[in-house]
Amino acid sequence: MSDTPGVPPPPADPAGFRPRVPAAQWDDWRWHMRKRINTVEKARRWIRLTPEEEKAVEGSAGKYRWSVTPYYASLMDPDDPSCPVRLQAVPAPAELTEFPGSDVDPVGDMYYRRTNRVVHKYPDRVILLVTEACPVYCRHCTRKFHTTDLSGTYFRDDEGGSFDEDLRYIAEHPEIRDVLLTGGDPLSYPDGKLEEIVSGLRAIPSVEIIRIGSRFPVLLPQRVTEGLCAMLERYHPVWLNTHFNHPKEITPEAAAAVDRLLRHGIPVGNQTVLLRGINDDVTTMRTLMTELLRVRVRPYYLYHCDNVTGVSHFMTSVEKGWEIMEGLQGHITGFGVPQYVLTTKIGKIPVAKPYFTVLPDGLLLRNHRGQEMVVDAAAYPITESDAS
């Protein structure tokens, strides 16, 4: 980004193609929300749309929502339709194509939904779908059907505007100790509305942990204000998981947003999605994980991209995921290696390739270089009888 606050001509835009924005506006997250790009005409001020992109934007109208914040648009290469930021934000023809085995809800949100907003899949934790709104409607969203123009059948923000039923369900199930606010993006709400929800949860004695799933640190880091962080700090323990998918997204603004959260005691984790053509190579993923550690974001999950209707074209093979995990394990700091998982209707399933094989009288061990050694059960007991 430029050294001049609020003026974002990235290196990929040497000709000054994009509009220049006064600093006072650029630093105001509400300005970005008001000025979101959601038409071909607005997009042309930031990128040179290809005919295929224009056709996809028009084809997605009335089916999938589309909007991009000026901040996130400023990270796009205006001339390269294969830019990893652009691929995540601009509709593509492939999302309007049916893929074999695709499902609008492969993770089972609707099956496990207990109220309008509460999804109770795991014994001790629930997700609370607080909104359908997002600053950018990511083209790879697992809950794409929640944020479509047809989603009223499944979930609505405006069912009375009250969270009473949802909070009552959580209070009546004392086994629930962990609540994740997601959607949509919870930080789309102003601080006051968000505090109503968080304070309502904190008033329930059995709720120990409140988590927020938000991509605002990536898509619009200006939203992570001192006021927001100070408000959340009053309701600790509060955790935030975000969603960096490519090193290009780790900007000084994003790093500053993370720093504000951390200074208010809010740990930040990252959930990357493995995406074809965006981050499905070892070099990109290794750079992403090490850059996350540099800005003090802990890699948490590497999600295998779900076969979601409208998203399937981003899927890779599981073999590709194993290849990338092999390129991370042992090659970067241990706590920089995320857990590779498939998200299914029966939960998150770890799919890491094993580094050991059980033998009749020991273990065959393999390291990140492919070197192997055998240890016997006397040195490393496999069963309790071996240990006795």
pLDDT in tens, 245-289: 999 999 999 999 999 999 999 999 999 999 999 999 999 999 999
Give the whole-angstrom CA distance, residue 169 versus residue 166. Answer: 5
Q: What angle do CA 279, 281, 282 make, to 5 degrees?
A: 115
pLDDT in tens, 35-70: 999 999 999 999 999 999 999 999 998 889 999 999
pLDDT of res. 147:
65
Q: How many residues does the chain have?
A: 388
Give the whole-angstrom CA distance, residue 246 versus residue 279. Answer: 6
pLDDT of res. 62:
85
Give the whole-angstrom CA distance, residue 78 versus residue 49. Answer: 8
pLDDT of res. 7:
41
Give the whole-angstrom CA distance, residue 220 versus residue 386. Answer: 55
pLDDT of res. 151:
46
Residue 15 CB neighbour total at 10 angstroms: 8
What strands, in cross-sheet order, belong to the sheet with 362-366? 356-359, 362-366, 372-376
Residue 301 CB neighbour total at 10 angstroms: 19
Give the whole-angstrom CA distance, residue 327 versus residue 304. Answer: 16
> Measuring CA to CA, which residue among 210, 214, 259 is closest to residue 238?
210
Give the whole-angstrom CA distance, residue 387 versus residue 297. Answer: 39
pLDDT of res. 167:
97
Q: What angle do CA 3, 263, 69 make, to 5 degrees?
A: 50
CA distances from 12 to 17, 62, 255, 348 (A): 10, 32, 20, 38
Radius of gyration for the alpha carbons in the chain, expressed in angstroms and rounded: 22
CA distances from 21 to 74, 90, 210 (A): 11, 22, 36
Residue 24 CB neighbour total at 10 angstroms: 10
| Consecutive H or E run containing 53 | helix 51-60
Q: Residue 189, CB half-sphere, CA atoms under 13 Å: how many?
A: 22
Give the whole-angstrom CA distance, residue 364 versus residue 10. Answer: 50
> Measuring CA to CA, which residue among 309, 254, 311 is closest to residue 91?
311
Q: How do the pLDDT tens digits run along the chain, 388 residues long?
A: 444 344 444 444 544 667 788 899 999 999 999 999 999 999 999 999 999 999 999 999 888 999 999 999 999 999 999 999 999 999 999 999 989 889 999 999 989 999 989 999 999 999 999 998 999 999 999 988 766 655 444 444 544 478 999 999 999 999 999 999 998 999 999 999 999 999 999 999 999 999 999 999 999 999 999 999 999 999 999 999 999 999 999 999 999 999 999 999 999 999 999 999 999 999 999 999 999 999 999 999 999 999 999 999 999 999 999 999 999 999 999 999 999 999 999 999 999 888 889 998 899 999 888 899 999 988 888 887 787 6
